[in-house]
Chain A
Amino acid sequence: MNNEKMLSKLRILSRISVVSVIAYIVLAAYNFFPEAKRDFLSGMNAYESGEEVMKDPSLWKVLTAFPCDIALVTSLVIIIVAGLQLLFGMSKGSSPFNEKVSRAIKNLGVSCIVFELLRTYLFFIIEETVNIGVLWLAGIVLYAFSLVFRYGTFLQKESDETL
C-alpha cells in the first residue's frame, strides 16, 4: 500500500473516530446531567436544612478544595478540547505526523496526569482515603506518544523534502 492510500485510509478512520467520540460525549452528558442536577439539588437541600456533609472540615481543606475543583474542571475541559483537536487535526491535515497533533497529544497527556492528581486529592479531602486510578499512567503513555509523533514529524519532513 502506498503513502496516498494509507493517508486516505487514516483520514477516513479519523472522521469515523471524530463522529464516534462526539456521540460518546453527548451520550455521556445525556446520562450525567440529570444525575448531577439531582445530586446538586439534594446537596443544596441538605445545606439549607443544616445537615453537615463533612464533619468539622479543617481550614486547609476548605481553602484548597475550591481552587482544586476549578482546576479539575479546567483540566477536564482541556482533555475534551485536546482530544477533539487531535482527531480534527488527523482528519483534516495531510499527515497524522505534524506539530499540531503532537502538541495536542502532549496537552492531553499532561492534563490527564493533572486531572488524576486533583481527583485523588479531592477524594482524599472528602473520604479521607487514597484512591489512585489509572489515568495518570494513560497520561504518561500519551506524553511518550507525543514524542513518537514528534519523531514522525521529522520523518514526514524528510519524506516531503525528498519528493
Chain B
Amino acid sequence: MSKSNAEAKIKESSLAIMVISLIDAALTACAGFYQLLSDTERISDDFAKKMMLKTALSNIICSVILIIAAVIFYRIAKSARPFTKGNITAIRIIALLFLINAVLPSIIVGMYLGFAKISIIGPGSIFNAALCFFFGEILRYGNLLQTESDETL
C-alpha cells in the first residue's frame, strides 16, 4: 500500500466512523436525557432511583465523548492528516472526560446514598482514560514526524 493509498483509505474509514459516532452520540444522549427527565416517582426503591441517575449522567458524558470523537474523525476525513495539534488536544479532552466519567456520577450518587453503598471509581473508564492519554502521546510523536516530513518537502 502506498502513502496516497493509505491517505485515501483513512479518509473513507474516518468518514464512516464519524457518521456512526454521531448516530451513537444521538442515541446515547437520548437515553441519558430520557433517564434524567423520566418520571421516577413510580420507582419505589431509592437505591434504584439514584443508580438510574448515575447511568443517566454517565450516558450524557459518553455522548459528549462520542461528539468529540466525531469531530476528530471529521477533521481526519477532511484533511487525511491524523497527526495534528487539534487532534492531540481533542484526545486529551476525551481522556479527561473518561476520568470525569469514572468519578463524577458515583460521587453525585454517593452524596445521596452514602459512599459505603456504591463503588466510587469506575475501573473501565480509568483504563479508557489511560489508553487515550497514551494514544495522545503517540499522536504527538506522529506530529513530530509529520512536521519533519512537511519541512523536508
Residues of A within 8 A of B (CB): 1-3, 6-7, 9-10, 13-14, 17, 20, 24, 95-97, 134, 137, 140-141, 143-144, 147-148, 150-152, 154-156, 158-159, 162
Query: What residues of A have a CB within 8 angstroms of the CB of B142 in the complex?
Result: 97, 148, 152, 155
Of A24, A137, A155, A159, the most chain B CB neighbours within 10 A belong to: A155
Closest to A163 in B: B148
Which 3 A-B pairs give the minimum distances between C-beta atoms? A155-B145, A144-B13, A154-B3
Given contacts A96-B141, A155-B149, 9 further A-B contacts (CB under 8 A): A2-B144, A6-B141, A17-B134, A20-B130, A97-B145, A151-B3, A151-B6, A158-B149, A162-B152
The reply on B47 being an interface residue by CB < 8 A is: no
With most chain A CB atoms within 10 A of its CB, the pick from B14, B16, B21, B144 is: B144
- B1-48 residues at the A interface, CB under 8 angstroms: 1, 3, 6-7, 9-10, 13-14, 16-17, 20-21, 24
Complex: chain B residue closest to A158, CB-CB: B149
Interface membership of B83, Cβ < 8 A: yes
Q: B137 to A156, Cβ gap below 8 A?
A: no
B49, CB-defined interface residue at 8 Å: no
Main secondary structure of the interface of B (DSSP, over half): helix
Q: Is the CB of B20 within 8 A of A140?
A: yes
- Interface of A (DSSP majority class): helix
**CB-contact partner of B6 in A7, A9, A140, A154, under 8 A:** A154
Cβ of B118 within 8 Å of any chain A Cβ, yes or no, is: no
Contacts of B6 in A (CB 8 A): 147, 150-151, 154
Q: Can you give 19 contacting A-B residue pairs, CB < 8 Å?
A: A2-B144, A10-B137, A10-B138, A13-B134, A13-B137, A17-B130, A20-B130, A97-B145, A134-B24, A137-B20, A140-B13, A140-B20, A141-B69, A144-B13, A148-B10, A151-B6, A151-B10, A152-B142, A158-B145
How far, in whole Å, are A138 and B90 apart by their CA atoms in the complex?
Answer: 18
Closest Cβ neighbor of A148 among chain B residues = B82
Q: Does B140 contact A (CB under 8 A)?
A: yes
Most buried by B among A96, A140, A143, A151: A151
Q: Kindly state whether residue B115 has any CB partner on chain A within 8 Å.
A: no
Per-residue CB contact flags for chain B residues 118-153 toward chain A (1 = under 8 Å, else 0) read 000000000100100010011011101110110010
Q: Which residues of A contact B14 (CB under 8 A)?
A: 144
The contact string, 1 if C-beta is below 8 Å from chain A, for chain B 77-96, is 00000110000000000000
A67 CA to B123 CA in the complex, in Å? 33
Return chain B residues, CB-CB under 8 Å to A162: 148, 152
CA distance A159 to B138 in the complex (A): 16
User: Bound state CA distance, A158 and B147, in angstroms?
Assistant: 12
State how many angstroms separate the Cβ of B72 from the closest Cβ of chain A: 10
Residues of A within 8 A of B141 (CB): 3, 6-7, 10, 95-97
Q: Which one of B1, B138, B140, B146 lies within 8 Å of A155 (CB-CB)?
A: B146
